[in-house]
Structure 1
Amino acid sequence: MDSISPVSRGWRLCMVASCISCIIPIFFLKHSHDSVNLSILGSTDIASTISINESDANSHDSVNLSILGTQLNEEYKCNIFDGKWVYDPKGSPMYKGAQCPFLSDQVSCQRNGRSDFIYEKWSWEAKGCKIPRFDATDMLERLRGKRVIIVGDSLNRNQWESLACLLYSALPPSQTLVDVKSGTYKVFTAKAYNFSVEFYWSPFLMQQNVNQDNGARILRLDRVATSAMKWIGADIMLFNTGHWWDLFQYEGKTVENMDIESAFDMAMNTWARWVDQNVDATKTRVFFRSISPEHKGKHWCYNKTQPIEDDSYETTFPGKIIKVVERTMQRMKTPVTYLNITKLSQHRKDAHPAVYATKKWKQLLALQNRKPETYADCSHWCLPGLPDTWNRLLYVSLVLDTSKVILSS
């Protein structure tokens, strides 16, 4: 019998090892779960899981979602709220203001005489991943048979007008109903899709009364707004608050000059209890939008046509208020998605109405030159404009199926 040389024996062992090394990865790949975990990080972390299967891929071909560098079962970090503004004259804006006759004067900057258009042509680009653009057709399908409510102050009304216009401009007017007569309740309905997007004006999310003696607002920090009974049963809820706090009432006692942070904390706890007691998390998605920044002082919005390019720029909104919101969501049993638009909005000093928030802009323009801090609206936003990006990120959150907010340490 011929003997096997040490070299031949080593060669055969190498071949066997190579075969085994090929078989093992194939085995594990075959039995791995078809999912991608996407962790969105920022001042809060939003843990997301995207399930991938053949039926999902075929049903949403219109959505161009490309998470760069992601493989199955690979942890990948993509913060959709962190990125940069890119000039995109071909892709922006997503509609024309004239397509939505129901837009209020406050946001209709072009109709009110603003002559520049560059502020409409910026697109948000997230770092490290490509997020889908707002797809009105896909959004209409996702909302079919559903009810969306947007509750909060005039900045949430700004977002409601944007979302209503994004969807309205994609449909024949005969297939829609829009009621904007009330200052406290507005609704857009898509008849063919059997869904509605409603706005409830509630700037504090709490019950408001008026002091009969001096006319001052009184907030009941232990009671949610009276309209809350109408919120129940919505499929998607989007809330905001944080502006305009001045006089409070808690447990039946009026408290003047109360610490803002303490009062806000009480209100947020009251809101959180209502959500936990009245929302079925298996049927309803809850969102909370972060504070929309103003632009005053050094970065005053008047006569500005370009975004702020200084990455270190931050507005003066109190960080303590933001921390209260984050702490509250962390304690809730109901999953809440944090629509964290503050930082990306800080750089858009060019996107405010300024004097173009009214048809009387010529008179304001003259006054503006003498006293700009009084007459320029540097709080709200032109449409088309920045709130369209807020709704794009709302859409992205629905596409990615983000759910539980987990605060970073």
Structure 2
Amino acid sequence: MVTFGPSKDHSYPSLTRKLLPWTFYAIIPLVFVRLYFYPCPLPHSNPILISSSLPPSTLEEESAKETPCDFTSGDWVPDKWGPLYNGTTCSTIKEGQNCIAHGRPDMGYLYWRWKPKHCNLPRFDPNTFLQLFRNKHLAFVGDSMARNQLESLLCMLASASAPELVYRDGKDNKFRRWRFDSQNITISVYWSPFLVKGVEKSNAGPNHNKLYLDHVDERWAADMNVFDLLVLSIGHWFLHPAVYYEGDSVLGCHYCPGLNYTEIGFYGVLRKALKTTLKTAIERRGRVTNGKGIDVIVTTFSPSHFEGEWDKFGACPKTEPYQEGEKSLEGMDAEMRKIEIEEIEAAKLSAIQFDNLRLEALDVTKLSLMRPDGHPGPYMYPFPFANGVTERVQNDCVHWCLPGPIDTWNEILLELIKGWEYQSIKEE
């Protein structure tokens, strides 16, 4: 057997120690010759980073403003931080949307964030919002989704400054107003489920709504001259039975058996209602000469997520978001969104001649479609299963828990406003 052990010959390490210094001395002249004839180019400097004292995160945000972010395409990703508020820290949550206080057992729906594909959506900064709206009046007008978004915003702002309720009126306090005195900010909500003039169905009268499509609802429009930002939200009430009027004649109806009117559906009616509303805003505020303008934002249709009967257990049972590709935007949800986007774009063209009027869509349809887990479901009432699962239980698979996915709408709202502010500064 042949074995290998340590060598007894130490001449090789000794020779290495002698040659190494001479090798080093020989290389130095070669390096100087190489640099003299072939100098290395310096790395390109970034003049923005050198000249600016802003932190990198701020610089990235400033750069991003040059190219508006597309918030419509993205994914819901896990978020360890959770919401700015909860069911006990905010006093303005409507009872039916306070899912935590009503005993919803799973909390996972609170720990997701919307991540656009090609940009970042910053977390909501209440102090930034309050600073941008100093001395201004913001109004939410529309149906219960407008109210849902308003109450989300109030809760987010209350994490920095508490609002004071200064006015309320109407059944279920459908007309309310809050003040942030330190910033001189007013935030109002106006119930107007069609935006145009309407007579809502009642137990004492006809079982259908009446809409007058060529007249805006003056319950809110009469105050339009005091608004700085108007956020409009409609859609779900157009699914109810209704008779439609234009001028002095009946245009048609939607689901009106027993009445001698032509069935025309509701898509065209939604379009006419938006057209009348935006046209009125342009006419009343675009032509003012005192310099006071208005911004108008239309929040697009928010899909519901009923998977069964509204009054049975498991109507909207999901506890996590849909993943990309798992749920498509189609059918009524897609059509309602399409109409709203098209009408806001048409209004932009009509208003292009006015410098004091800006219009935009707050496109939340797809990101909302992907959150079947964010509704109150049976927890629209306190502890619905305290005595076990009953045969019938009412579910809300339309509105959103607070806190919940709807908070993202207001994160995007703030980014739209910041973008407008940035553009205004650039143009000065």
- How does the TM-score come out when normalised to structure 1? 0.75
Match of 1:219 among 179, 197, 211: 211
Give runs of aligned pairs for residues 350-365 of structure 1, distance below 5 A. 350-359=373-382, 361-362=384-385
Per mean C-alpha deviation after superposition, the further-off stretch among 228-237 and 259-268 is 259-268
Q: Deviations over 1:8-55 (max 9, x none)?
A: xxxxxxxxxxxxxxxxx99xx99xxx9xxxxxxxxxxxxxxxxxx98x
Query: Does the CA-based 8 Å contact 1:179-1:188 persist in structure 2?
Result: yes
Partner of 1:85: 76
SS, match of residue 214 in structure 2: strand
**In structure 1, what residue type is equivalent to 2:134?**
R
SS, match of residue 98 in structure 1: coil
Partner of 1:260: 266
**Does 1:330 find its partner at 2:338?**
no
**In structure 2, what residue type is equivalent to 1:353?**
P
Query: d(CA) in 1 for partners of 2:304 and 2:245?
Result: 27
**In structure 2, what residue type is equivalent to 1:163?**
L
Partner of 2:398: 379
**Does 1:366 find its partner at 2:381?**
no
Query: d(CA) in 2 for partners of 1:308 and 1:113?
Result: 24
**In structure 2, what residue type is equivalent to 1:158?**
N
SS, match of residue 66 in structure 1: helix
**In structure 1, what residue type is equivalent to 2:379?**
Y
Partner of 2:322: 308
**Does 1:101 find its partner at 2:107?**
no
Q: Deviations over 1:314-367 (max 9, x none)?
A: 354253333322222222223311100000111111110001112262389734
Deviation at 1:313, TM superposition (A): 0.7
SS, match of residue 236 in structure 2: coil
SS, match of residue 362 in structure 1: coil
Aligned residues: 344
**Does 1:123 find its partner at 2:117?**
no
- How does the TM-score come out when normalised to structure 2? 0.71
Match of 1:290 among 286, 289, 300: 300
SS, match of residue 282 in structure 2: helix
Q: Deviations over 1:251-278 (max 9, x none)?
A: 1223323332222222122112101102
Query: Does the CA-based 8 Å contact 2:102-2:379 persist in structure 1?
Result: yes
SS, match of residue 348 in structure 1: coil
Per mean C-alpha deviation after superposition, the further-off stretch among 184-193 and 151-160 is 184-193
Partner of 1:113: 103
Query: d(CA) in 2 for partners of 1:293 and 1:267?
Result: 20
Q: Which has the larger radius of gyration?
A: 2
Change (3 A) 1:125 1:383: same
**Does 1:274 find its partner at 2:280?**
yes
Unaligned runs of 5+ in 1: 1-24, 35-52, 405-409
Change (3 A) 1:188 1:63: farther
Query: Does the CA-based 8 Å contact 2:307-2:316 persist in structure 1?
Result: no
**In structure 2, what residue type is equivalent to 1:387?**
I
Query: d(CA) in 1 for partners of 2:383 and 2:294?
Result: 42
**In structure 2, what residue type is equivalent to 1:150?**
F
Match of 1:151 among 137, 141, 144: 141
Change (3 A) 1:264 1:200: same
**In structure 1, what residue type is equivalent to 2:411?**
R
Q: Percent identity?
A: 27
Change (3 A) 1:66 1:191: same
**Does 1:242 find its partner at 2:265?**
no
SS, match of residue 157 in structure 1: helix
Change (3 A) 1:364 1:326: farther
Unaligned runs of 5+ in 2: 1-43, 254-262, 352-357, 424-428
Query: Does the CA-based 8 Å contact 1:336-1:403 persist in structure 2?
Result: no
Structure 1 vs Structure 2 CA RMSD: 3.4
Query: Does the CA-based 8 Å contact 1:152-1:240 persist in structure 2?
Result: yes
Partner of 2:22: none
Query: d(CA) in 1 for partners of 2:105 and 2:167?
Result: 29
Query: d(CA) in 1 for partners of 2:56 and 2:216?
Result: 40
SS, match of residue 398 in structure 1: helix
Change (3 A) 1:206 1:65: farther
Query: d(CA) in 2 for partners of 1:80 and 1:402?
Result: 18
**Does 1:176 find its partner at 2:172?**
no
Query: d(CA) in 2 for partners of 1:107 and 1:249?
Result: 34
Change (3 A) 1:106 1:403: farther
Query: d(CA) in 2 for partners of 1:189 and 1:121?
Result: 30
Query: d(CA) in 2 for partners of 1:317 and 1:331?
Result: 21
**Does 1:164 find its partner at 2:174?**
no
Query: Does the CA-based 8 Å contact 1:308-1:349 persist in structure 2?
Result: yes
